Amino acid sequence: QQPVQSPQAVILREGEDAVINCSSSKALYSVHWYRQKHGEAPVFLMILLKGGEQKGHEKISASFNEKKQQSSLYLTASQLSYSGTYFCGTGPTSGTYKYIFGTGTRLKVLA
């Protein structure tokens, strides 16, 4: 079952902040975040591990609450280059080695 992301789409002005949420029905060991520009392949942003470890990338940070099986991606002072579709992905769980991605959140940053 795919993780559910919210919102599905968001439009921002340059300099504004945004939060993208990812919720899973299964217990999570790790959460991965990727960004995909239109017509391109997804590119890795960061990974969060069980235990609450947070990692950041430029002005993008994320959190992981394993009890709630949720992760959030925080984009601060957004730039035009942040436009794209963001995916959360969940790492292997319960003896399988499947990486399952969420439904995606389309982010558009306007000048």
Q: Report the interface residues with another protein, using CB under 8 A.
A: 2, 5, 29-30, 32, 34, 40-44, 47, 49, 87, 89, 91-92, 96-104
Residue with tokens 């499947």: 98
Q: How far is the CB of 36 from another protein (least distance, A)?
A: 9
Q: Which is nearer to another protein, 83 or 103 (CB)?
A: 103
Q: How far is the CB of 102 from another protein (least distance, A)?
A: 6
* The one-letter amino acid at 78: S
Contact 75, 16 (CB under 8 A): no
DSSP class of residue 77?
A: S
